[in-house]
Amino acid sequence: MELPHDALVNYIFPNNAHVVWSLMIVIYPFITGLIAGAFVVSALSHVMKIKAFDSIANFALIAAFSFGCFAGMPLLVHLGQPQRALEIYFTPHLTSPMSLFGYVYGSYMVLLTIEIWLIYRPHFIRMANQTTGLAGLIWKTLTLGVTTYHPDSAKVDHKMIGILAGLGIPWAFLLHGYVGFVFGSVKAISWWATALQPIIFLSSAVVSGMAMLLVMYSVIKRLRREPIDCGMLRTFATILWAAFILDLGLEVLELIHAHFQQSHEWSDIQPLLMGPLFESYAFGQMGVLSIGPILLLGVVAVLEVRDRTVVVLSNIGAFLLIFQVLVMRFNVVIGGQLISKSGRGFVEFHWEFFGKEGMLTAMVILTAPFVVYYIISRFIPIFEDPAARPEAPAPADGAVEPAPVRQATP
């Protein structure tokens, strides 16, 4: 049926001419996802007791902390009055999902900080006893005044680390799962209104965080000219491969469910996917950026390949997965807002490089966590065991410290 020449085929309401939630709201769930995924890797060692990840458990925690420092930055940039952001802590509003984010995010960062402090407490004590002046004062402050490290303290710290890691798993899932809940609860936008939205956001968060850690680990080891643990990398790639298959299955299931339901939401979603989002969704998210990692990581997981091949294929696959999740965030956040509220046509999204929510600002925010990680790595041994050389406990009153044993020189 042909439309009459005067038909309104792309009528946009005056208050619906622009995309309100722009790039800042795209990278906001992306960064929170990196936190959750990185913490899961740490929990595989501290909670699941998978020995292969012991060498990168502390590295994963530091990476999660670095990303966590900037999880709220996109929201602050997006707000019209960012100086009022702290009011969510002082004026509780328990029925607002955005207000609850302040408490979930703040408590999670406190938990993460305490766990890192317990892990590196032997290093803080050692540095406090070996340095003087202002540096010594700073290290002593980090020890909270306790400058001796007893073996019994190590046992208590180890037990507390396991407890905090166990508590951190559901807390990390809640931190990012709630982001999907915020989008899924907006019933006015057909592309968001699905009960699978929190689960998809959570599964993709684990994938992106693990993929980012794998790439960071390989790059850091290469820059430090240190050998890469290919056995651990193979196990890492296998778990990442399985996690992504689950995530991709959920994304496909969501689309199939909307198609077979044939509700009014599908009448909005189908033209969206076949129109403005065809390149980014069909060709990008579900095409190259999904098929490529499945094939590359599948070779590492299933076939017996050389160590050099494991490193190359794992990193290429993980790098594609990082962009797959980032494009998925764009398709959900920006794509959902392209559906016109008038029901006729789509809203246009205009890219900008400069500006408060432009590409330059997004790149600066995404780069900042790596700068923080580099600064932290200058002061604490991230890949070394912080308790490898603990400070010897002070002798009891009246006890004589034994003299060191000297070996005879030949």
pLDDT in tens, 345-392: 777 888 888 888 889 999 999 999 999 999 999 998 888 877 665 444
Instruction: With beta carbons less than 8 A apart as the criterion, state whether 54 and 389 touch.
Output: no
Residue 75 lies in a domain: yes
Q: Residue 82: its pLDDT value, please?
A: 77
Residue 63, pLDDT > 50, answer yes
Q: Residue 50: its pLDDT value, please?
A: 81
Give the residue with greater pLDDT, 178 vs 170: 170
174 shares its domain with 261? no
Residue 123 lies in a domain: yes
177 shares its domain with 201? no
CA–CA gap between residue 203 and residue 33 (Å, rounded): 9
- With vertex at residue 173, the alpha carbon angle to CA 168 and CA 177, rounded to the nearest 5 degrees, is 155
Task: Report the percentage of the chain scoring pLDDT > 90.
Answer: 28
Give the residue with greater pLDDT, 270 vs 18: 270
Which pairs count as long-range contacts for 248-252, CB under 8 Å and 24+ apart, including other chains? 248/290, 248/294, 250/196, 250/199, 250/200, 250/203, 251/200, 251/204, 251/286, 251/328, 252/286
CA–CA gap between residue 14 and residue 166 (Å, rounded): 50
Q: Residue 5: its pLDDT value, please?
A: 47
233 shares its domain with 309? yes
Domain boundary residue, one of 349, 375, 398: 349
Largest CA distance in the chain: 103
Residue 53 lies in a domain: yes
Residue 12 lies in a domain: no
Cα pseudo-dihedral 243, 246, 251, 257, rounded to 10: -170
CA–CA gap between residue 213 and residue 205 (Å, rounded): 12
CA–CA gap between residue 53 and residue 39 (Å, rounded): 12
Of the listed ranges 66-80, 190-204, 275-289, the least confidently predicted one is 190-204
Residue 208, pLDDT > 50, answer yes
pLDDT bin (cut points 50, 70, 90) of residue 13 is low
Residue 19, pLDDT > 60, answer yes
71 shares its domain with 178? yes
- Number of domains, the chain: 2
CA–CA gap between residue 67 and residue 177 (Å, rounded): 17
Residue 11 lies in a domain: no
Task: Report the percentage of the chain scoring pLDDT > 70.
Answer: 88
201 shares its domain with 213? yes
151 shares its domain with 197? no
Residue 197 lies in a domain: yes
- Residue 236: both structure tokens together: 């890492």
Rg (CA), the chain: 25
241 shares its domain with 374? no
232 shares its domain with 100? no
Residue 37 lies in a domain: yes
**Sign of the alpha-carbon dihedral angle for 23, 24, 26, 30:** positive
Q: Residue 408: its pLDDT value, please?
A: 37
Residue with tokens 């070394």: 384
Give the residue with greater pLDDT, 275 vs 219: 219
Of the listed ranges 19-28, 259-268, 352-361, 396-405, the least confidently predicted one is 396-405
Of the listed ranges 111-125, 142-156, 303-317, 335-349, the least confidently predicted one is 335-349
Residue 2 lies in a domain: no
- Residue 361: name the closest of 82, 77, 83, 79 by CA: 77
Identify any residues that bridge with 339 across adjacent strands, giving them in sequence order: 346
70 shares its domain with 125? yes
* Average pLDDT, integer, range 304-313: 90
Q: Residue 374: its pLDDT value, please?
A: 94
174 shares its domain with 238? no
170 shares its domain with 259? no
CA–CA gap between residue 228 and residue 92 (Å, rounded): 48
Q: Residue 17: its pLDDT value, please?
A: 60
Helix (H, G, I), strand (E, B) or coil at 224: coil
pLDDT bin (cut points 50, 70, 90) of residue 310 is very high
pLDDT bin (cut points 50, 70, 90) of residue 187 is low
pTM of the model: 0.84
pLDDT bin (cut points 50, 70, 90) of residue 394 is very low
Q: Residue 322: its pLDDT value, please?
A: 95
- pLDDT by residue (tens digit) across 289-307? 999 999 999 999 998 888 8
105: which DSSP letter? Answer: H
Mean pLDDT of all residues in the chain? 82
Give Cα separations from 14 to 18, 78, 342, 351, 407 (angstroms). 9, 21, 10, 20, 86
Q: Residue 406: its pLDDT value, please?
A: 38
- pLDDT by residue (tens digit) across 138-149? 899 888 888 888
Instruction: With beta carbons less than 8 A apart as the criterion, state whether 52 and 232 touch.
Output: yes
DSSP one-letter string for 65-100: HHHHTTSSHHHHHH-S-GGGTTHHHHS--TT-HHHH
125 shares its domain with 98? yes
- Residue 407: both structure tokens together: 């070996």
Instruction: With beta carbons less than 8 A apart as the criterion, state whether 38 and 376 touch.
Output: no
Residue with tokens 């030949």: 410
Q: Residue 151: its pLDDT value, please?
A: 80
Domain containing residue 216 = 189-349
Strands (DSSP E) contained in 105-222 are none
Identify any residues that bridge with 346 across adjacent strands, giving them in sequence order: 339
